[in-house]
Amino acid sequence: MSRQVDFEIDNQWVRSQRGPKNQVETHKPYGFFVEEERSAGGEIEKVATIFLTNNECPFHCLMCDLWKNTTSVPVKPGAIPAQIRWALDRMPKAKTIKLYNSGNFFDVKAIPPEDYEQIAELLKNYERVIVESHPKLINRLTYSFQELLDPQLEVALGLETAQPQVLERLNKNMTLDDFAKAVQILNLHHIPTRAFILVKPPFMNESEGVVWAQRSLDFAFDQSVQRCTVIPTRNGNGALDEIGAMGFFSQPRLRSLEKVLDYGVSQYPGKVFADLWDLELFSECPNCLTKRQERLHQMNVRQTVLPEVPCSCN
């Protein structure tokens, strides 16, 4: 692992690097869409995602830019069900729905627990509901929400990296043990999990970024996580840009994301997916970007390793 920063990366420092937030409205989500995903049973199904507008996450991870679309105070009871209704009225039907709230679903300052019943009623026709949470915020509210739901609850947890020193420097306030315990307790309650894993977080060079993403997949599946999404680490939240200017971070190459997905799909078919947003950020060659995007999309959907894209940039 390369050099270390000579100051403490803490909440205050991460916050001090931020630019302004985007303007958001609490009666509607800040985004929603429907996409295709391969289900645990192997079928290609429609999955809806709603990005709920709510209070900022209390953690301050070095690489996180989700704070940009949050409020600075808790939203009023009723606002979250209203946002879900707003999106459902405008979205095609799907079997699975992701409610991503830029933080932790079971944080009482994010999603008011008194809204759980209405949320469950709105989602009763789905088969699966996926929410996100920091491993330390898995608590009794998780199980009370699960009891209210007709669909199966699934929880997405950010593992980020299994490299312990880098994980500590990400200021996530979480150890690998915290992650493992959260998965264990969710499994005990019959709640499946998915993990988010970063490709090339800060403090890693290109090859370390690939190897540690692969090891992080192994670590997650060793803990009995059911599915993983690998995410190329992006600039743009202030803190990471500053860390990059100091020489401790640069965005991964598209080829690195490909290597991680190749590994994941070959070792754990049906269980590993790549995040394909803004892939042009990671491409160094305009000639093959579209073909590489399509290959990754097909690998996400078909869960089989496809032939490499031939290009002089290889």
Which residues make up the interface to ligand SF4 (CB under 6 A)? 57, 59-61, 64, 66, 102-103, 134, 158, 172
Please, what is the minimum distance in Å from the beta carbon of residue 134 to Zn ion? 38
Task: Name which of Zn ion, ligand SF4, none residue 172 binds, using a CB cut-off of 5 to 8 Å depending on partner kind.
Answer: ligand SF4
63 binds Zn ion (CB under 5 A): no
Please, what is the minimum distance in Å from the beta carbon of residue 291 to Zn ion? 8
Looking only at residues 216 through 235 of this chain, which bind Zn ion when binding is defined by CB under 5 A? none
Looking only at residues 246 through 285 of this chain, which bind Zn ion when binding is defined by CB under 5 A? 285
290 binds Zn ion (CB under 5 A): no
| Shorter beta-carbon distance to ligand SF4: residue 133 or 214 | 133
Please, what is the minimum distance in Å from the beta carbon of residue 106 to ligand SF4? 12
Task: Name which of ligand SF4, Zn ion, none residue 176 binds, using a CB cut-off of 5 to 8 Å depending on partner kind.
Answer: none
Distance CA 106, CA 87 (A): 21
| Shorter beta-carbon distance to ligand SF4: residue 172 or 200 | 172
Q: Using CB under 5 A, which of 44, 301, 306, 311 touches Zn ion?
A: 311
Task: Name which of ligand SF4, Zn ion, none residue 158 binds, using a CB cut-off of 5 to 8 Å depending on partner kind.
Answer: ligand SF4
Please, what is the minimum distance in Å from the beta carbon of residue 219 to ligand SF4? 18
| Shorter beta-carbon distance to Zn ion: residue 180 or 309 | 309
